[in-house]
Structure 1
Amino acid sequence: MTSSRRRRPTLDDVAEAVGVSRATVSNAYNRPDQLSAQLREQILRVAGELGYPGPNPTARSLATSRTGAIAFLLDSSLSAAFSDPALSITLDALAKTVEPTGNALLLLPGREAQEGPPASRVLAAQADIAVAYSLADGTPALEAVRARGLPLVVIDQPPLPDTARVGCDDRGGASLAARHLVELGHRRFGILAAPRLSGAAVSSAFHGTRERLAGYLDTLAAAGISDITITEAPWLSASTARAAATDLLTASVRPTALLCMSDQLAFAAIAAAHRLGLRVPADVSIVGFDDTPQAAWSEPPLTTVRQDLAGKGRVAGELVMDLLAGEPVPPPVELPVSLAVRESTAAI
């Protein structure tokens, strides 16, 4: 009995129909720069007419030892990551930078009970290179990257020896924020910090948190200020952050200024102040960190430390392409910061 199942068209069928070599058809998919635009368009048109779907990705990856994917390691869940405007801007810039190379991004999220994605997921991921986004020191996923021998690009943290990295001047930015408030005459401070601190000690597992807290505390200490209260709150949990800010603003001796380790924490602090009937900045000045788009149109517009989030993603993408091309690991890149002074701060 004859089977009615139709044979799947092959690359050779396309080559015969167009009247070119098999290698020329392959170049139309894998090395389009080797063909004229007119010839490539003709090959792809004929392939579509024949029903040829293109080279098998599994076979191609086996032949080239490349998967065409970049593993992007996150500390948080995907739902939390997608609600983080700073991450969104950075990831968008990275994606635009690597997009012309045809590489795809494979997002590996973390889980609530641990920092970073499970090591087993990293070991199983089909990727040519890994990008770690703001992970804690000693995250098991990073050891899995090392065990696989994958090239690694770190965005922000942790700093690792002999590893490509791009970040910003966290300590310098925090110092700018604290100095601004000191110069406005403030002497009672609250710090709304990222979690995983131990009291007032600089003991976070996250390098960026340690640097920002050190920048605040060193600058305040240099000004002779010791009236400082530190409260922790998750960066992306608005309700928890509002509660933490409320604790600071209802203390028996209320701070006149709040230093917040992210814009998201600062927005929560502004909301908490409004709920308590406090005026920003007349009753309390608030400073954020990041300068995400919402900072310019919050109520009031937020004074914040500006870092180049898009530049960070662009540099990370360039580092990815350089490492995939076999370039040596470059020195770490530290992007400058500045202070965007808006209407959430005022002299006391």
Structure 2
Amino acid sequence: MKPTLQAVADAVGVSRSTVSNAYARPDQLSAALRQRILDTAKAIGYPGPNPTARSLRRGFVGSIGVLFTSQLSYAFTDPFAVRFLAGVSAAAERHGTSLLLVPLPQAPGDARRAVENAAVDGFCVYCVGDETWALDAIRDRGLPYVTTAHRPDAEPTHRYVGIDERDAARGIAAHVASLGHRRVALLGDTVLPDVPSGPLRLSKVGDVPHPTTHGRLAGFADAFAEVGVSWSDLTVLTAAGNDRGAAAAAVAGLLDRPDPPTAVLACSDVLALGVLDTLAARGPGAGPPVSVTGFDDIAEAAAVGLTTVRQPAEEKGRLAAELLLDPPADPAAGHVLLPTELVVRTSTGPAPRS
């Protein structure tokens, strides 16, 4: 049988609370008594109070949770996620707290239980798709949270650190439109749940549940609408995940159509890199040049000359954690909108003449 706190108390001849004080409130005991309790505990193999149970009893765990997609590996392999978590970690270190990465199973019931069972003091909601249900589960627990989705209509208690996704996407799409491109493909990951990579029939951008993907696709559409290209004239592609292989699968066969797109606007740099992989595999002279854009400005974007939108990944993570760990007295200060920058490189150029 595993030794218990009561066993230590019986062996020393003191109360359970006295043994507990030896671990949690040593100033309440004489040095000699505390040492006798610790020596006895060691002799009978008692490891000390359960830290999780102790923290839950006092209402403080000393850890914040970061909600991710169902793939925990995303936190270590996606370049933007890695930089974001570096910022979260810097703030956590400053406050002396730890991180718990919480991957969300695909089944809604299992995902909700993951939120309900996480031993944390609050949540940073990052990359979870339609986050409404997650926020409801967090609110039911009475815990604070910060999201990375900009919400112009956010309630005062809803803290976020984000960017104006739609405005930033509109800017890069306007750049592509100014180069004369009118046959355009828009590429996002998991635009709709449980849909394989490839072309997607989408009647309107409002059908996209993921707030980040929705904002970027809407911004792309805004810019092309200004030059007379309607939503129905745009080719919408979905990748089964935010990785290069999924992006390559999404554009497979697209460039062999009679009237292929002259530009592909991707919702992330990783997806854009997958498109560039496909173009490189076709070899020079396989067809007219295709302009490609990304979003985020990860390190590899500069190396391949990718036109993209730059956003401050580390700063986003750091500020999100700071809002969670040290919330401002003024609720309005909990709504943070970070700047973005259009970075034009060699992956975009004038549309080829017909």
Are 1:136 and 2:142 counterparts?
no
Measure the CA separation in 1 of the matches of 2:170 and 2:342: 10
Equivalent in 77, 80, 86 of residue 80 of structure 2: 86
Structure 1 regions of 5+ residues with no counterpart?
A: 1-5, 15-20, 26-46
Structure 2 residue 246 is matched with structure 1 residue 253: no
In the other structure, the counterpart of 2:345 is 342
Q: Is the 8 A contact 2:126 2:148 kept in 1?
A: yes
Instruction: Give me the whole-angstrom Cα distance separating, in 2, the residues matched to 1:172 and 1:282.
Output: 30
Q: Does 1:150 align with 2:143?
A: yes
User: Which residue does the alignment assign to 1:18?
Assistant: none
Q: Tell me how far apart the structure 2 counterparts of residues 112 and 13 of structure 1 sit (CA, whole Å).
A: 45
User: 2-side partners of 1:230 and 1:24: how far apart?
Assistant: 69
Give the distance between the partners of 2:266 and 2:58, measured in 1 at CA. 48
For 1:338, give the aligned amino acid: E
> Residue by residue, what CA displacement relative to the aligned partner does 1:97-122 show, whole Å, maximum 9, x if unpaired?
111222111111022455x9711122
Choose which of 295, 318, 329 in structure 2 pairs with 1:314: 318
- Show the counterpart of 1:41: none
Question: Residues 246 and 105 of structure 1: is their aligned pair in 2 closer, same or farther, counting only changes over 3 Å?
Answer: same
Partners of 1:24 and 1:341 in 2: CA distance: 67
Inter-partner Cα distance in structure 1 for 2:326 and 2:119 = 19
Distance (whole Å) between structure 2 residues aligned to residue 328 and residue 55 of structure 1? 38
What is the identity, as a one-letter code, of the residue corresponding to 2:293? V
Alpha-carbon distance between aligned partners in 1 of 2:28 and 2:149, rounded to the nearest angstrom: 43
Give 1:186 shift.
Answer: 1.8
- The residue number in structure 2 matching 1:38 is none
1:278–1:284: 8 Å Cα contact kept in structure 2? no
**Separation in structure 1 between the aligned mates of residue 210 and residue 180 of structure 2, nearest angstrom:** 31
Contact 2:122 2:144 in 1 (8 A): yes
Q: Do the aligned residues in 2 keep the contact of 1:123 with 1:148 (CA within 8 Å)?
A: yes
Deviations 1:47-72 (A, max 9, x none): 9xxx9x99863465256420101111
In structure 2, C-alpha distance between the alignment counterparts of 1:24 and 1:95, rounded to whole Å = 37
Aligned to 2:171: 176
Residue 30 of structure 1: aligned partner: none
Cα pair distance change 1:276/1:24, threshold 3 Å = farther
The equivalent residue for 1:123 is 116
Answer whether contact 1:178 1:219 (CA < 8 A) is retained: yes
SS at match of 1:271: helix
Is this contact kept in 2: 1:257–1:285, CA < 8 A? yes
Which letter maps to 2:295? F
| In 2, Cα distance between equivalents of 1:320 and 1:252 | 52
CA offsets 1:64-83 (integer angstroms, 9 cap, x no match) = 42010111111231023322
Relative to structure 1, the CA distance from residue 149 to residue 255 in structure 2 (aligned partners, 3 Å threshold; closer, same or farther) is same
In the alignment, does 2:274 pair up with 1:265? no
What fraction of aligned residue pairs are identical, expressed as a percent?
A: 37
Query: Which residue of the partner structure matches residue 245 of structure 2?
Result: 239
**Unaligned 5+ runs, structure 2:** 1-7, 13-18, 31-37, 193-200
2-side partners of 1:13 and 1:230: how far apart? 64
The TM-score, its normalising length taken from structure 2, stands at 0.77
Shift of the 275–269 alpha-carbon distance from structure 1 to 2, 3 Å rule, reads same
Secondary structure, counterpart of 1:78 in structure 2: coil
Deviation for aligned residue 1:12:
8.3
- Between the aligned partners of 1:291 and 1:280, the Cα distance in structure 2 is 28
What SS does the aligned partner of 1:289 have? coil
Alpha-carbon distance in structure 2 between the residues aligned to 1:24 and 1:256: 77
| Pairwise CA distance, 1:11 | 9.8
Tell me: CA distance 1:252–1:326, structure 2 relative to 1, closer, same or farther (3 Å). same
* Paired residue secondary structure (2:146): strand
- What residue in structure 1 maps to residue 189 of structure 2? 194
- Number of residue equivalences: 315
C-alpha distance after superposition, 1:13-59 (max 9, x if no partner): 89xxxxxx82799xxxxxxxxxxxxxxxxxxxxx9xxx9x9986346
AA of the residue aligned to 1:85 = P
Paired residue type of 1:99 = E
Alignment match of 2:69 (pick from 64, 69, 75): 75
The answer to whether the 8 A contact 2:64-2:100 is kept is yes
Instruction: State the one-letter code of the partner of 1:70.
Output: I
Structure 2 SS opposite 1:265: helix
1:96 maps to which residue? 90
With normalisation by structure 1, the TM-score equals 0.78
